[in-house]
Chain A
Amino acid sequence: MTLTRADIAKYPFVSDAAEEIRREDLDIQSLDNPELKEIVDRAVERIEEALKNNPPKVSYREREEDIEIPSFPVAIILAAASENNYLKRRYALAEAMRAYELLREEKREKFLDVARAFNWRIRSLTDEVGGRRFDFAISFIDYLRNARSFHESGFKLVNRPLRRGEVFLTKREAARLLREEIRRRIESRLEANVRSRLPESLLDRVEALNRRYASSVEERFIEELSGGMNEDALPPCIRELLSAAKDGRHISHLGRFTLTSFLLNIGVKPSEIVDLFRSSSDFNERMTRYQVEHIAGRRGSGTRYIPPSCETLKTHGLCPGSSDICRGVNHPLAAYRRRVRTFKKPP
């Protein structure tokens, strides 16, 4: 590892940064020490930038290592103390965005140092595959851990060059992947329980952040759809499963789970779903009722299940091919809800 103090100011989340803090001897109870005011101010500002900027992004201040480095762990403490999920998620993303933009400008060697701080198995290369130049090869395990949340087809493993366990990436793609790793790392640090140990004056500042940005918090509620199902709005996969169930045709285990969880989520009653499976040759009322209620969260662990995503349905051969209803969505429930909403709109 050859990261300098200037590097750590850029990427304060790498493990060396934590050591830096220990050296500076910052402990939570004494954060109200007036000597630390500048650091705490910058920490609050980091969070403010995350909440204010769109897309969320923390700024980078060159040649201010003495403030930049310690203000990061303090910001982590403050964000964790907010116990506000929106604030925490947004802050983690904003720090990751900051690092992403800096990483894209770095030389390869520096990039490797940062990636290896996350234990990535990564190496530099200058290979061309079919005329396209790649900068890095990374183990497919590290790749999958991070690319899983990307929905672009170009990030699907099946669409990447994969050789002897290594995925080839351009620098820009590798930076995008590292951004996700950084976001997750920071988000996990924000789970720390620090609120009770925070001095009063700092708690006030955290609460001020919470209040000030509460109005911009978009609380998204899942639309409760009542009045049962709107058959015209069903995506093709569910339509297919539904007609198979009505005809008593064989449906795979995953197919039955998909149909049941979908219908429960759009407000169909469990008893109606049980009736639906009646024409099945191996229908067993008691078993079916148990399974439907289990998926509804009325039994067992109490988890209420949602149907699998479009991608999962494709993998298991349950997607009959998308239709207009599915355009631009990646979940059958999303397709259905959008369609229902457009039906509701006055002409």
Chain B
Amino acid sequence: MDRIAFIRDRFAEFYEENASKIEAPSSISKREFGFFTFQENIVIRHKGFVSVGDLRDFIRRIVPSHVYYSAAYYEMPEEPMENKGWLGADLYFDIDADHIPTRCGKIHDTWRCRSCGFEGKGMVPDECPACGGKSFDEQKWPCEICLESAKHEALKLLDFLLEDFGFSLEEIEVSFSGHRGYHIQVESEAIRELDSVARKEIVDYVTGVGLEPTYHGLDGSPGGRRVKSGPCLDEMGWRGRIARGVHEYLLSATRDDLEELGLKKMIIEEILSRREEILRSWERGGPWTMIRGMSIDMWRRIIKRAVEFQSARIDTVVTTDVHRLIRLSNTLHGKTGWLKINVPADALESFDPLSSAVAFKRGEVTLYVREAPEFRLGEETFGPFRDVKVELPMAAAIFLLCKNAAEVVD
């Protein structure tokens, strides 16, 4: 049976039964909706709905592969872009494993050179090692490490939003994207009308772009090279983050890491041999003055790494785009067959997307799987597969079909 037709049938059954669980975004009549359909990958944009009932009916009828709505509010959402009448937008953050250097090295992802067919694993290279070609077909897989890394970034972002920006838990909605990341949405009257220049400042704050340590307590003698003091671990905002990031760095840095920073040999020896003492120094003002020969410039290099640890890696374009379409919760992601689902912000730490986002819970299908890495859904682990015929539970089967890694065996 045709792969796409099979997926579409399952999506149709799913929505027939579960469309009622789709909730309307606030002010539904002021939002633009967009859909991808299975047939010929058509995009339907500029749709508006006055009630959630109409929206659910529409989804049941067209059976989309992806459902989006605008973070923005418009006077007339169905008009062309320039006539819509922008009224404001929620503050939106997208965290995707694609933007995070993960411990797995994306070794589960594969790519294939379009000109010579050479294949490889991991991040896509700039050019094909075999023929120098520059264009590739990619196959991306979500793995536990990718998802954990994305969650870690989301938790850091939450801390910024709650502690620094002062949003309340009621204003923040966290969700699993249904693929490789998390979304965080802030819905508050106060931020609705912020333009993209103001949103860019928020982006720079959470990513640490343009951060200058001397505004956060790194204090040198005027014109001198020595540091007099620095921020402490328990301080709020970026001051505390810098201190904690420096602590984390000094705790774990290897000789190679320190050499990479370009520190002098003598200083590296001092850091490595006095590590315990340096770490204990946080109890009384921190290590800012205790490493001999350490100039303000060298501290800056360490702080730069600290900021990388502490900042939240978000897709910067999504947050500054005030017309962005975003995936609607409780709808299916066409690349996985998983649900985008909301997670209470205070339950994020223990949240398991690979259990909670499973949509298809009934039936088995026999597939011919070309290639797939090991993956887990709920309590069960599947694969790795290579050129095998295998009977799988529906959720696992839909996942592999959506990933275009398998065909249905009739």
Contact = CB atoms under 8 A, between A and B. Distances in A.
A130 interface: yes
A315 B134 contact: no
A203 B97 CA distance: 64
Contact of A158 (B126, B190, B209, B317): B209
Interface in A224-265: 247-250, 252-254
A25 B356 CA distance: 68
Contacts of B135: 248, 281-282
B349 interface: no
A317 B211 contact: no
Interface string B208-236: 11111001110000000000000100011
A315 B197 CA distance: 11
A311 B210 contact: yes
Given A163-B237, A314-B209, A148 B201 contact: yes
B163 interface: yes
Nearest to B206: A158
A254 B317 contact: yes
A158 B191 contact: no
Contacts of A248: 134-135
Contacts of B163: 163-164
A80 B184 CA distance: 45
B61 interface: no
B237 A162 contact: yes
Nearest to A312: B200
Interface string A125-165: 00001100000000111001101100001101111111111
A165 B167 contact: yes
Interface in A298-334: 300-301, 311-312, 314-317
B203 interface: yes
B198 interface: yes
A166 interface: yes
Given A130-B217, A145-B198, A140 B134 contact: no
Contacts of B167: 165
Contacts, number: 104
B134 to A, nearest CB: 5
Contacts of A250: 134
A282 B137 CA distance: 12
| Size bin of chain A's contact surface | 35 or more
Contact of B316 (A129, A301, A316): A316
B199 to A, nearest CB: 9
| Size bin of chain B's contact surface | 35 or more
B166 A166 contact: yes
Q: Chain A interface secondary structure, helix, strand, loop or mixed?
A: mixed
A162 B191 contact: no
A252 B316 CA distance: 12
A311 B198 CA distance: 12
A254 B203 CA distance: 16
Given A140-B165, A162-B165, A316-B316, A156 B114 contact: no
A301 B205 CA distance: 33
A156 B164 contact: no
Interface string B159-171: 0000111110000
A158 B165 contact: no
Contacts of A317: 316
B194 A144 contact: yes
A157 B235 contact: no
A300 B320 CA distance: 22
B184 to A, nearest CB: 16
A262 to B, nearest CB: 18
Contacts of A141: 190-191, 194, 198
Contacts of A312: 200, 320
Contacts of B209: 158, 314-315
B211 A158 contact: yes
A166 B164 CA distance: 8
A165 B191 CA distance: 11
Interface in B178-209: 190-191, 194, 197-198, 200-205, 207-209
Given A130-B239, A248-B134, A281-B135, A157 B205 contact: yes
Contact of A159 (B191, B203, B215, B320): B215
B238 interface: yes
B82 interface: yes
Contacts of B82: 300-301
A160 B217 CA distance: 11
Nearest to A132: B217
A310 to B, nearest CB: 10
A253 B194 CA distance: 23
Contact of A156 (B190, B197, B201, B217): B201
Contacts of B194: 141, 144
B126 A249 contact: yes
A152 to B, nearest CB: 10
10 contacts: A130-B217, A140-B165, A141-B190, A144-B198, A144-B201, A153-B210, A153-B215, A160-B215, A165-B167, A248-B134
Given A163-B236, A311-B210, 11 more contacts: A140-B166, A144-B194, A153-B215, A156-B210, A157-B201, A162-B237, A163-B164, A163-B166, A165-B166, A250-B134, A315-B200
Interface of B: 82, 114, 126, 134-135, 163-167, 190-191, 194, 197-198, 200-205, 207-212, 215-217, 231, 235-239, 316-317, 320
